[in-house]
Amino acid sequence: MSRRAALRTALRAGLSAWLAGLALPALAACTPGGGLQNITVAGGESGGFYLEFATLLAAALRREGVAGEAEPLVTGGSLENLELLRAGKATFAVALADAAAQTAPATDTSEAMAAVGKVYENYVHCIVRQDSGIRSLGELAGRTVGTGETRSGTSLTARRILETFGAGAGREAFSKHPPAERSLGLNTGLAALRAGTVDALFWSGGVPTAAISALNEDLGLSFLDLSALIRPMRSRYGPFYDRVLIPQNSYAGAPGVWTVGVANLLLCRQDLDSRTVERTVELLVNHAAGLVPQTSAGVQFLSPDTLINTAGIPLHPAAERAYRRLHG
């Protein structure tokens, strides 16, 4: 069986189990007509999975005739994507679930967001140079740390990680001498790490991230274990954080490390026409293999167990209808 066929079969099986226990709510009527002429997908920074996925999705939307034109947008990340979505400047947006929950407008407004699906799991990387001698988060006290682009989901999650760690028992030194934060995205942050102007860099993305792999091969990097913070983060901020493993040798020579995982969602506005949403869901289900970046190491892309697990952000009614129809 091909990878695409296997993905489709597994997805339908997972959807069947989900639908078996779901009460059927009244759904909005389908918008007549054929969808949109132009679609934009708000992605992320060059070299990151957000933009890779947005590029593949835009190409599929064009190829399958969902839109006459579709293009990915290079952005700073989740928070900027959500701004573009609310303003009507993006049709779809890729965003972290914690960022989406924090910025979601009231559900009775035209700007209300809806989920099309969970497209993959984001892995928080806390990256240091191997030659730095830094082996734990506590050793970042008084040092300089890159915490992501100002309007990125990484910046939100990284700040929550640092605040949660500093609030823990026995961490007075960290609280008295917190890290100096710099708003650096993936590429500028890696350049700063190379130059030694930052001691650590936070990045939330797929495994492996190509730009990190390149610097690791050239310089040698280590990744800090963040998994002890998951329970207190869930208590402070909500159930958005999971314990996930960056597998051994995901980055050449690096041991496996446990870290914080956050669901990454494909979002739209509630007022997006039903036909466009339904056909996009069909792409996620029936063309899943073609939407996985070649660099992916299997980081729960379009998983049948998680595609409809949208971390409390409600599915668009047309998306919910499409999943029911596609379950077999």
The pLDDT tens digits of the residues spanning 263-289 come to 999 999 999 999 999 999 999 998 988
Q: Tell which of 237, 262, 287 closes a domain.
A: 262
More confident of the two residues 170 and 202? 202
Residue 249, sorted as left (phi over 0), alpha (psi -120 to 50) or beta, turns out to be: left
Roughly how many angstroms between the first and final C-alpha of the chain, as a whole number? 18
Q: What rounded mean pLDDT belongs to the chain?
A: 86
128 with 258, same domain: the answer is yes
Specify the DSSP class assigned to residue 47: T
DSSP string, 237-276: H-TTEEEEEE-TTSSTTPPPEEEEEEEEEEEEETTS-HHH
The closest of 184, 188, 179, 197 to 215, measured between CA atoms, is 188
Extract the tokens encoding 304.
Answer: 């049948």
Summarised one tens digit per residue, pLDDT across range 171-183 is: 888 888 999 999 9
pLDDT tens, residue by residue, 57-85: 999 999 999 999 999 999 999 999 999 99
Q: Provide the CATH number for the domain around residue 137.
A: 3.40.190.10
Q: How far apart are CA 247 and CA 205, in angstroms?
A: 14
Residues 83 and 169 in one domain: no
CA 115, 150, 295, 132 torsion-angle sign: negative
State the chain's maximal CA–CA distance in angstroms: 62
pLDDT band at residue 55 using 50, 70 and 90 as cut-offs: very high
Q: Could you identify the residue written with the tokens 């800090």? A: 224
Residue-level pLDDT at 34: 56
- Give residue 305's pLDDT: 63
pLDDT in tens, 95-133: 999 999 987 654 555 578 999 999 988 999 999 999 999
224 — pLDDT class (breaks 50, 70, 90): very high
pLDDT at 1 over 80: no
Predicted pLDDT of residue 114: 95
Q: Which residues pair with 93 in a beta bridge?
A: 42, 267
Beta bridge partners of 121: 263
Please report which confidence band the pLDDT of residue 2 belongs to, taking 50, 70 and 90 as the band edges: very low
Residue 82 backbone dihedrals phi, psi, to 5 degrees: -65, -35
Range of the domain at 310: 3-121+264-326
CA atoms of 58 and 37, how far apart (whole Å): 13
Is residue 264 within 8 Å of residue 116, measured between CB atoms? Answer: no
Q: How many domains does the chain have?
A: 2
Q: Specify whether 28 is located in the same domain as 91.
A: yes
CB-count burial class (<10 Å; 0-12, 13-18, 19+) for 37? exposed
Asked if residue 250 and residue 179 are part of one domain, the reply reads yes
Q: Are residues 312 and 196 in the same domain?
A: no
Last residue of one domain, picked from the residues 233, 262, 291: 262
The tokens for 317 are 């009614």
Q: What is the DSSP string of 164-226?
A: HHHTSTT-HHHHHSPPEEE---HHHHHHHHHHTS-SEEEEEE-SS-HHHHHHHHHH-EEE---
Query: At a CB cut-off of 8 Å and minimum separation 6, what does 194 contact?
Result: 215, 219
Structure confidence at residue 14 as a pLDDT band (50, 70, 90): very low
248 and 283: one domain? Answer: no
